[in-house]
Amino acid sequence: MHLLIVGGSDAGISAALRARELDSAATITVLLADSFPNYSICGLPFYLSGETPDWHQLAHRTEFQGIEILREHRATFIDVENNSVFVRSADKSKVFPFDRLVIATGAVPVEPPIAGLRSPGVFLLHTMEDSFRVHEHLSEHNPESAVIIGAGYIGMEMADALTHRGLNVTVVSRPHTVLSTVDSQLGEVLRQEIVNRGVTVHTGVEVSSIYPGDGKLKLQSKTGSELTTDMVIVATGVRPSSELASAGGIETGARGAIRVNRKMETNVPGIYAAGDCAETWHRVLEDYTYLPLGTTSHKEGRVAGENAVGGVRVFAGSVGTQVVKVFDLAIARTGLLESEAHVATFDPFTFETLAWDHKAYYPGARELKIRITGDRSSGRLLGAQMVGHWKSEISKRIDIFAAALFHEMTVEALNDLDLSYTPPLSSPWDPVQTGAQAWSRALSLNQATRELKHV
């Protein structure tokens, strides 16, 4: 049996490794469009900041025993009738037959409609090659300033990275907040952090054009305002790379991502899809959505690889758990925001509280800001967000909420969890639990107030 995998990043390599574990006789071939199998794209800002000076360190894995990795092999067409993939390599055309196929083509950057987006000194950051171009520009031209278009995860990390390198950084965001994937109250905390670090922030601004002038780059907004800088990073999100699949007759769904079931099967028998090119089953929404996350890609790829060699595994689903470190802050979320819960026809109630990350009498205690969203009638936990110092176990505490969401727990049930305690690290009631208690008290008060208004 020949398993062919198109794409060699998180999902593709995870599929190949799992298939090899389960079927030692299968022939497994991975077609890689570039030369960098299984590299951590999430690590690019830290390579560019200089904190991870050797890009080779970004490789998740360098040994692929029993798996054929074909670099610089770009798939151009999938012939679903004849179980074959057409490929371009070194200006030559090749055809690869398959018995089973996994499509793991990932995502590509969203290119905003900005005139001059291809001007020298303007960079989109998504691939290893992108990072090399940025690194070369930083090393050879020694720019003093940079504008980052986009205030999402990559935009925030690059603001940190370029400030770390000594550049004067300006962030321009079309939304009126930074990191719009969290509530604006937490986004404002992050905005203040980066401003305190010397980053200039312009929100509610849409760039219309970039053009060179006097050895600089000039950016003009739709309202006529202008900025001048030495280089530009465009980080306005990603979209699924699904054109290859779609051209072959494979169906697409949410935001143009490849439509799959929970076995990661497409509408074409024997063809699977996984990772940032495919839809994701959301456990809270109980529906498919587009949720491009590295953690999800690894899990989906593992499911696809297992099923491609005869397994029957079902993808358990995602709750959208995310965290980012920017300067000294970590900001995290899992599950639904209140706005998203309303759209999903829940009756959400959100409450924010402050808590110490460990006992206040032990030196170094820091405050955490915790926002919990739950359903009014059932008390079910729907989502949580946190922000605080990056050494305050933000990522592990959001994981407690994520596990609770995975098991459809109520907010109140968080208090029953047996969580660890020692004064330098936590309290007898962990901040997750004091946040849950505060939510329950606030909900009771809110409901009592609503009842009084109806008397």
CB 1 within 8 A of CB 309: yes
Which residue type is seen at 177?
T
Query: From CA 37, how far away is CA 17, in angstroms rounded?
Result: 12
DSSP 396-446: HHHHHHHHHHHTT-BTGGGGGS-----TTT--SS-HHHHHHHHHHHHHHHH
The DSSP element (H or E) to which 368 belongs, if any, is strand 367-375
Q: Which of 42, 70, 254, 417 is catalytic?
A: 42
Here the tokens at position 162 are 């370029």
Name the residue among 85, 17, 96 with its Cα closest to residue 250: 85
Alpha-carbon Rg of the chain, whole angstroms?
24
Here the tokens at position 142 are 């020694």
- Assess whether 277 carries a catalytic annotation: no
Which residue type is seen at 272?
Y
Q: Which long-range contacts (CB under 8 A, 24 or more apart) does 219-227 make?
A: 219/147, 219/149, 219/172, 221/172, 227/147, 227/170, 227/172, 227/202
Query: From CA 111, how far away is CA 132, in angstroms rounded?
Result: 19
CB 355 within 8 A of CB 367: yes
CB 364 within 8 A of CB 393: no
Here the tokens at position 125 are 């950051």
CB 395 within 8 A of CB 388: no
Helix-strand-coil split of the chain, %, nearest 5: 30, 30, 40
Name the residue among 366, 381, 263 with its Cα closest to residue 315: 263
Query: From CA 57, how far away is CA 117, in angstroms rounded?
Result: 30
Strand partners, 95: 86
Name the residue among 77, 82, 69, 71 with its Cα closest to residue 93: 77
Report the C-alpha dihedral over residues 180, 186, 191, 193, rounded to 10 degrees: -140
Residues designated as active site: 42
